C-alpha cells in the first residue's frame, strides 16, 4: 500500500459514521498509532521519495519508543480508553482488536509490559489477563515469540502465559512462530519451559517444518538436538528435507542429510527432495542431493523425473547438472 493510499484510508476512517473511531478519535489513536506507523514503514511504495519518507517515519517512531518518559506517558493514557469502552477492546471493521499487553509484546517494550503485568490489569482490556488475544487469536506471548523478544517472552511466561496458546487463523503456538522466524533464543526458552516440540499448525506444520522451509539453520539445529522428528510430515506429506529443498535452503538440506533424513522421501504428489529442487531450479540443492546419491530417475505421480521438471521450467543450470549425472 502506498502512502497516498494510507492517507485515503485515514480519510475514509474519519468519515465512518457511528463508529468508535469517529466518537473517540483520541482513544483510537492512543492504541493504534504504532500499528499504522509500522504499516506505513513497510508499505510497498512505488517512488523513492515515498520509500525514504516511510523509512524516516519508522526511524522517528523507533527513537520515540526508546524514550522512557514517552513510553510512560503513552501507557498512562490507556486507562481513559478503557473507561470509555467499559473494559472492552476496540474492534476495527476487519474484526481485529488489540490489548495493551499485545501492543507492548509486539514491539518488545519490556518496561511497558512490566508496568502492566505488575499492576495485574491491562488498562485497555482489564477483563482479560496475560492470555488475552487479538482479533486473530494471537496472545502477547505469540507476538513476543514471533519477533524474538526474549525479555518480553520471559516476563509473560513468569506471569503464567499459556505456552501452548494457538492463534485462530493458522493454529500456531508461540514455539511455531519463533521457529518460523528464526528466533533461536526464544525457541530455546520455550523448549526449556516445556513447549511441545511436535506441536502442529492447521496445515500440519511442526516447528521443525517451519524452520526448514524458511532456512533457519540455527533453529533447525536446536530442534534436532532436542529430539524433533526429522521425518515429520505436513498435511500434504512434505517432510522438512523436501520443504528445504523446494525453497532452496542449502544449509538446512545439508544439515538434515547429515542427521540422516530420508533422501528419497515422497510427498503426496510423489515428489522427492530432488524433484522439488529441480522443479524450482535450485542448482545448489540439486548438487548436494546428487552428491549424496539421490535417485536421478525417480518419477512423481505425474510420471515426471527431476530432469523433466527442470527442462519444463527452463532451469538450464539444473538441466546441465542432471544431464552431466546421466553421462557419468
At 57, the pLDDT band (50, 70, 90 cuts) reads confident
At 325, the pLDDT band (50, 70, 90 cuts) reads low
At 99-158, the pLDDT tens digits run 778 878 887 878 778 877 887 766 555 666 788 888 788 999 999 999 999 999 999 999
Buried b (16+ CB within 10 A) or exposed e, 178-211: bbbbbbbebbbbbbeeebebebbbeeebbbbbbb
At 4, the pLDDT band (50, 70, 90 cuts) reads very low
37 lies in some domain: yes
17 lies in some domain: no
Share of the chain above pLDDT 90, in %: 57
Mean pLDDT of the chain: 82
145 lies in some domain: no
270 lies in some domain: no
Measured CA to CA in angstroms, residue 249 lies from 85, 94, 98, 315, 319 at distances of 48, 36, 35, 17, 19
44 lies in some domain: yes
At 12-47, the pLDDT tens digits run 444 444 455 455 555 566 656 666 676 666 667 667
What integer pLDDT is reported at residue 158 of this predicted model? 94
Give the residue-averaged pLDDT of 272-300.
97
pLDDT at 261 over 70: yes
Instruction: Give the largest Cα separation in the chain, rounded.
Output: 77
4 lies in some domain: yes
34 lies in some domain: yes
Residue 218, C-beta contacts closer than 8 angstroms, at least 6 positions apart: 182, 184
- DSSP structure class, residue 49: H
Q: What are phi and psi of 91, to 5 degrees?
A: -115, 125
What integer pLDDT is reported at residue 75 of this predicted model? 59
More confidently predicted of 215 and 121: 215
Structural domains of the chain, count: 1
Give CA–CA dist 143/34, Å, rounded: 15
With vertex at residue 127, the alpha carbon angle to CA 79 and CA 97, rounded to the nearest 5 degrees, is 75
**Which of 13, 15, 54 minimizes the C-alpha distance to 37?**
54
What integer pLDDT is reported at residue 194 of this predicted model? 98
Q: Which range of residues forms the domain containing residue 30?
A: 1-9+26-66
In this structure, what C-alpha cell is assigned to residue 264?
528419497
Give the residue-averaged pLDDT of 153-170.
95
39 lies in some domain: yes
With vertex at residue 165, the alpha carbon angle to CA 30 and CA 83, rounded to the nearest 5 degrees, is 30
More confidently predicted of 248 and 119: 248
pLDDT at 59 over 50: yes
Give CA–CA dist 144/132, Å, rounded: 13
Give CA–CA dist 104/111, Å, rounded: 9
What integer pLDDT is reported at residue 10 of this predicted model? 47
Give the residue-averaged pLDDT of 89-104.
53
What integer pLDDT is reported at residue 67 of this predicted model? 67
Which single residue is written with the C-alpha cell 557419468? 328
What integer pLDDT is reported at residue 23 of this predicted model? 52
Report the SS3 class of residue 284.
helix
What integer pLDDT is reported at residue 87 of this predicted model? 33
Which single residue is written with the C-alpha cell 476487519? 94
3-state secondary structure 222-251: HHHHCCCCCCCCCCCCCCHHHHHHHCCCHH
Amino acid at each position: 500500500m502506498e502512502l497516498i493510499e494510507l492517507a485515503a484510508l485515514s480519510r475514509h476512517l474519519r468519515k465512518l459514521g457511528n463508529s468508535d473511531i469517529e466518537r473517540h478519535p483520541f482513544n483510537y489513536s492512543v492504541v493504534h498509532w504504532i500499528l499504522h506507523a509500522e504499516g506505513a514503514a513497510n508499505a510497498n511504495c512505488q517512488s523513492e521519495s515515498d520509500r525514504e519518507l516511510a523509512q524516516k517515519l519508522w526511524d522517528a517512531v523507533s527513537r520515540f519508543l526508546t524514550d522512557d518518559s514517552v513510553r510512560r506517558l503513552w501507557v498512562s493514557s490507556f486507562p481513559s480508553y478503557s473507561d470509555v469502552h467499559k473494559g472492552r477492546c476496540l474492534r476495527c471493521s476487519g474484526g481485529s482488536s488489540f490489548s495493551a499487553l499485545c501492543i507492548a509484546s509486539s514491539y518488545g517494550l519490556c518496561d511497558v509490559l512490566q508496568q502492566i503485568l505488575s499492576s495485574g490489569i491491562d488498562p485497555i482490556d482489564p477483563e482479560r489477563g496475560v492470555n488475552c488475544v487479538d482479533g486473530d487469536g494471537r496472545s502477547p506471548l505469540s507476538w513476543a515469540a514471533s519477533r524474538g523478544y526474549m525479555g518480553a517472552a520471559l516476563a509473560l511466561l513468569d506471569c503464567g502465559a499459556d505456552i501452548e496458546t494457538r492463534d485462530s487463523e493458522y493454529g500456531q503456538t508461540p514455539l511455531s512462530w519463533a521457529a518460523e522466524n528464526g528466533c533461536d533464543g526464544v525457541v530455546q526458552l520455550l523448549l526449556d519451559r516445556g513447549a511441545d516440540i511436535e506441536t502442529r499448525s492447521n496445515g500440519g506444520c511442526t516447528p521443525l517444518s517451519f524452520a526448514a522451509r524458511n532456512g533457519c539453520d540455527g533453529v533447525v539445529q536446536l530442534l534436532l538436538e532436542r529430539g524433533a522428528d526429522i521425518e515429520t510430515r505436513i498435511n500434504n506429506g512434505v517432510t522438512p528435507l523436501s520443504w528445504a529443498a523446494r525453497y532452496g535452503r542449502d544449509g538446512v538440506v545439508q544439515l538434515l542429510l547429515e542427521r540422516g533424513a530420508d533422501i528419497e522421501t515422497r510427498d503426496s504428489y510423489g515428489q522427492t527432495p530432488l524433484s522439488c529442487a529441480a522443479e524450482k531450479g535450485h542448482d545448489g540443492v540439486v548438487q548436494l542431493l546428487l552428491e549424496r546419491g539421490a535417485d536421478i530417475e525417480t518419477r512423481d505421480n505425474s510420471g515426471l523425473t527431476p530432469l523433466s521438471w527442470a527442462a519444463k521450467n527452463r532451469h538450464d543450470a539444473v538441466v546441465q547438472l542432471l544431464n552431466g549425472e546421466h553421462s557419468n
